[in-house]
Amino acid sequence: MKNLKLFLLPLFNLTIIFGGTTLQSPSQFLGYELGDKFTFHHDAVDYFEHVSTVSKHIELITYGETYEGRPLIVSVITHPNNKESVESIRANHLITSGLIEGEKQENPLSIVWLSYSVHGNEASSMEAALKTLHTFADTSNIEQMRWLEKVILIIDPCINPDGRDRYANFYRMMGNLIPDVDSKTREHQESWVSGRTNHYYHDLNRDWSWQTQKETQYRLKLYKEWMPHVHVDYHEQSYNDPYYFAPAVEPYHELITPWQREFQNIIGNNNAKYFDERQLLYFRNEEFDLLYPAYGDTYPIYNGAIGMTYEKAGGGSGGVAVKTSATDTLTLKERLEHHYLTGLATVEATYQNSERVIQEFQKYFKNANTEQPKQFKTYIISNDNNDNKIKDFLNLLDLNGIKYGRPVKPTQMMNKVFDYQSGERKNIKVLDEDILISTQQDMSVLTQVLFEPQTTVSDTLTYDITAWSLPYIYGLKAFATEKELALQEYDTPIVRSPLGLLNSGYYGAIVQWGSVNALTFLAELLKNKVVVRVAEKSFTHDGNIYEPGALFISPRGNEHLREKLHKIVHNAAIKHKPAIATISTGKSSKGIDLGSSNFRVIKAPRIAVLSGDGVSSGNFGEIWHYFEQQIEYPVSVFNSSDFKSITFKDIDVLILPDGSYGFLKTEFPPSAQVKKETSASMLIKKSPPPALLKWVNEGGRLIVIGSAMEKFVDQKGYGLVKYESEAAKKEAKKNDEKQKLGERDKKYGDRKRTKLIDNTYGSIVKIELDNTHPLAFGYDEHYFGLKLEKKLYPLLPKGWNVGIMKDSESLVAGFMGHRIKKKINNNLIFGVHEAKKGRIIYMADNPLFRSFWYNSKVLFGNAVFIVGG
Ligand SMILES: [Zn+2]
């Protein structure tokens, strides 16, 4: 490709190709002015390479690769006279901050990290990154070189290259030669899916602490190695909103320190100075809060830094030029210039306050190890939890740099510790093999934020989830205490190896159900055409108790694999490490024998999922990621536009993700006659295609998630109702009317707050489970899940109500509007309707939301593999 480029590039580019040493500006290098078009990611990477090649004071680090194979890079910029290696500067910074041991050197530097284009269609910021890099590369810029005497600058031009190129490709394909500024024209209307998200349609600005996506994992590894003092996450907002920068608005998490509040102001004031000089519009203290811990501003804050979000007008509908509601024309050039301006102002403000920035950072980690925490001093994870689950949970702690250990000695706790499962206080005994997490550690704040049972917020006016406590996410038996417990180093338990257990000539192998490892093991066996049986009842074998859901692999039924069976099971067991045991007899000491008809055969299902217009790209992406990246099982993806022509009989399981399913409307002939006979609401609720129900009745399994359920309410044959009885319907209508009357004195100024009354944006609820049903195999009698949808459904009249939210007491953590809370009364969360030979599985709230709710993974696996028969 390089040779080809030689002919295509303007002449002045030849110098670099032939190893020239002259620094080029972005426009010289790219052959167009920044802002004239959207730069492709690979061109930006080439430019970063060029700059680091010709600039001795700039080092390029490739820290990973995206799902689509694009490189993830940062440039580390030091002062031109700097004699030290980047590595020794980094080490000195960590020593100075008290994060690692070592000898302190004089004149520590403050570290500013600027991250661009996390949302790929907020596309001006990568262009700004190119300009910013060039300014700091050009050693004739005396002022910037002076700033570099005290500041190390790290520039990540694009956190989300796959999404950024999705947008750049879209715009380069759809944009007019002369940009059309009308926001309704094609070049301003991205199609499904927009460039905001990454390859698996995950929002990388919701993923920092969970690290479910490759890009986040790579970036956080580098971030943790550097631990910058200041981090800016560059965004764009509606093209009508001029510019937002720090300070953020309430709610703030209570653990945000006074200095972190103050320095946001200092930087904000410096940004404002430059904006004022140019008479530019901006706002602060509105819209953007500091709470949810997986953002690019809060996560750095919970890691001691000053984390900030900057938002310029623009976004996916900004194009190269767009007419705003103020009838100005907003150009890409202007957008990138303003981001460039705040980048410089941020570095300058940090330079001006460098000593204080460094001091406060040191203080932060000193306090973390010595100061009283907000409430709990120690979190206790019971050893009684599933081994695999503990391992995965500890892996997340490792990724976040949270330390843990074992108790020094068993301790009877008499001070009534908090029990996450029951929400009550009780006395427990802390055992040798339990795991302790102390809040007296470098990551004290992050630990508290991720473990606190209730989020401590200064205000509830927020539009993201308000609860994320790790013990609920992982479904762990866990406790918290105000008491400090002595820790010793964590000793990794010796995992019993399945090797050697799987000798040939055995009667079979049994696997405990209920862990992600057992799930991925099952997926691998099914992929390899192994016939697996699942126990519908419990039994005891060789002294081990197996609950329903246990898998049994027998040579019987697997004759087609001959001697390969052992190898497949053996390799899968080594790879996935489920709790597996081989047996030599079909006799159980208690409960069902291995030949019982209560063992049901699972055959490898062909699984399909709907994507495209009308389907939530986020939920589709979570499902896609679940199959491809988490359990490694094939999934067929169909477009919603082809919904009616799908050959259903070739599919075993069809998943309808959350979505508006607007395309189902079009099936209804919109003739005047029909309109007259049908109310508008009936139009919206037009049935899914008849072939779908026919397929279900003949044995298909349909999984319907979140708002997709709306299309099935009161539809014949689907078993889902809006009201459980006529009386309930009347009652609901009466209440609605009463509510409307009561709302007449509402205040305009309170409208945002009023909206909260009927909403839940993500709170943790306790769901009662019928764990005798295959959908809940492997779970206890209750499950903690995220309530995301405000819609409440009554129980299925004829189906199995497997997961129920009982009453207002079901709310465990986070914010839920008081009116919706009051309405909770035995509502369906997970249910299975048996439709002749098939099954319809309803999941009222998306269990795979943002891919971070670990404890839902098996439940979703149950839906696709275990429910049936
Ligand atoms: Zn954004």
Q: SS3 for 154-218, per residue?
A: EEECCCCHHHHHHHHHHHHHHCCCCCCCCCCCHHHCCCCCCCCCCCCCCCHHHCCCCCCCHHHHH
**What's the pLDDT tens digit per position in 105-119?**
888 899 999 999 999
Q: Name 512's Cβ contacts closer than 8 Å, sequence gap at least 6.
A: 518, 544, 546, 547, 550, 578, 579, 580
pLDDT of amino acid 4: 41
What type of residue sits at position 179? Answer: P
What is the pLDDT, as a whole number, of residue 364?
98
The token pair at 176 is 């007019």
- Residue 318 Cα to ligand 1 middle (Å): 13
How far, in Å, from the CA of 44 to the mean position of ligand 1? 20
Q: What is the pLDDT of residue 677?
A: 46
pLDDT surpassing 70 at residue 680: no
Query: Omega of the bond prior to 247 within 30 degrees of 0, cis?
Result: yes
190 alpha carbon – ligand 1 mean position (Å): 15
Lowest mean pLDDT among 126-130, 288-292, 306-310, 856-860: 288-292
pLDDT for position 251? 86
For residue 277, the CA-to-ligand 1 centroid distance in Å is 26
Distance CA 729, CA 20 (A): 77
Distance of CA 558 from the midpoint of ligand 1 (Å): 52
Q: Are 132 and 344 in contact (CB under 8 A)?
A: yes
- What is this structure's pTM? 0.94
How many angstroms separate the alpha carbon of residue 785 from the centre of ligand 1? 27
The alpha carbon of 115 and the centre of ligand 1 are apart by a number of angstroms equal to 12
Check residue 682 and give its pLDDT.
44
CA of 618 to the centre of ligand 1 (A): 15
Would you state the pLDDT for residue 458?
60
Mean local confidence (pLDDT), 536-565: 94
d(CA 758, CA 750): 14
Provide the pLDDT for residue 746.
78
CA distance 835 to 701: 9
Task: Kindly give the distance from the C-alpha atom of residue 315 to the centroid of ligand 1, in angstroms, as a whole number.
Answer: 8
Q: Does residue 741 register a pLDDT over 60?
A: yes
Residue 164 Cα to ligand 1 midpoint, Å, equals 12
* Mean model confidence pLDDT for the chain: 91
What is the 116 CA–ligand 1 centroid distance (Å)?
Answer: 10
Whether the per-residue pLDDT at 155 is higher than 80: the answer is yes
The percent of residues in the chain predicted with pLDDT above 90, rounded, is: 80
Is residue 462 scored above 80 in pLDDT?
Answer: no
Is the pLDDT assigned to residue 645 strictly greater than 50? yes
Write a three-state SS string for 246-307. Answer: CCCCCCEECCCCHHHHHHHHHHHHHHHHHHHHCCCCCECCCCCCECCCCCCCHHHHCCCCEE
Q: Which two tokens stand for residue 349?
A: 């403000």
Q: Separation of 158 CA from ligand 1 center, angstroms?
A: 12
Q: How far is the CA of 235 from the centre of ligand 1 (A)?
A: 4
Cα(91) to centroid(ligand 1), Å: 32
pLDDT at 670: 43
Tell me, what's the pLDDT at 756?
75
Give the confidence band of 459 by pLDDT, cuts at 50, 70, 90: low
What is the distance in A from the centroid of ligand 1 to the CA of 197? 10
Tokens of 331: 């150009």
- Reference 643, options 719, 695, 714, 720; nearest CA is 695
19 Cα–ligand 1 center, Å: 38
Mean pLDDT, range 209-217, rounded to an integer: 98
Output the CA 577–ligand 1 centroid distance in Å.
Answer: 39
Please check the confidence at residue 674 and state whether its pLDDT lies above 60: no
Q: Could you report the per-residue pLDDT of 583-606, keeping only the tens digit for each?
A: 989 999 999 999 999 999 998 999
Rg (CA), the chain: 29
Distance CA(750)–CA(660), nearest Å, equals 28
Please say if the pLDDT value at position 430 is more than 50.
yes
CA 340–ligand 1 middle distance (angstroms)? 17
pLDDT of residue 779: 97
User: Given this model, what pLDDT does residue 37 score?
Assistant: 96
Using the structure block, give the residue that is written with the tokens 């608005």.
Answer: 249
**Looking at residue 860, what is its pLDDT?**
98
Among the residue ranges 386-390, 518-522, 736-740, the one predicted with the least confidence is: 736-740
* Rounded distance from Cα 417 to ligand 1 centre (Å): 40
CA 320 / ligand 1 centre spacing (Å): 18
pLDDT tier for residue 211 given thresholds of 50, 70 and 90: very high
pLDDT at 754: 72
Residue 19, pLDDT > 70, answer no
Instruction: Please say if the pLDDT value at position 189 is more than 80.
Output: yes
Helix (H) or strand (E) holding 379: strand 378-381
Residue 19, C-beta contacts closer than 8 angstroms, at least 6 positions apart: none
Do residues 196 and 206 lie in contact, with contact meaning Cβ atoms separated by under 8 Å? Answer: no
Separation of CA 259 and ligand 1 centre (Å)? 25
Q: Count the neighbouring beta carbons within 10 Å of the beta carbon of residue 323.
A: 15
- Is residue 663 very low, low, confident or very high in pLDDT (cuts 50, 70, 90)? confident
- Residue range 297-318: mean pLDDT, rounded: 97
With bands split at pLDDT 50, 70 and 90, how would you rate the model's confidence at 220? very high
- Does 10 score more than 70 pLDDT? no
* Residue 391: both structure tokens together: 């391992």
pLDDT of residue 398 exceeding 90: yes
Structure tokens at 180: 């059309």
Is residue 521 within 8 A of residue 573, CB to CB? The reply is: yes
Closest CA to 25 of 6, 9, 12: 12
Distance 122 CA to ligand 1 centre (A): 6
User: What is the pLDDT averaged over residues 303-322?
Assistant: 97
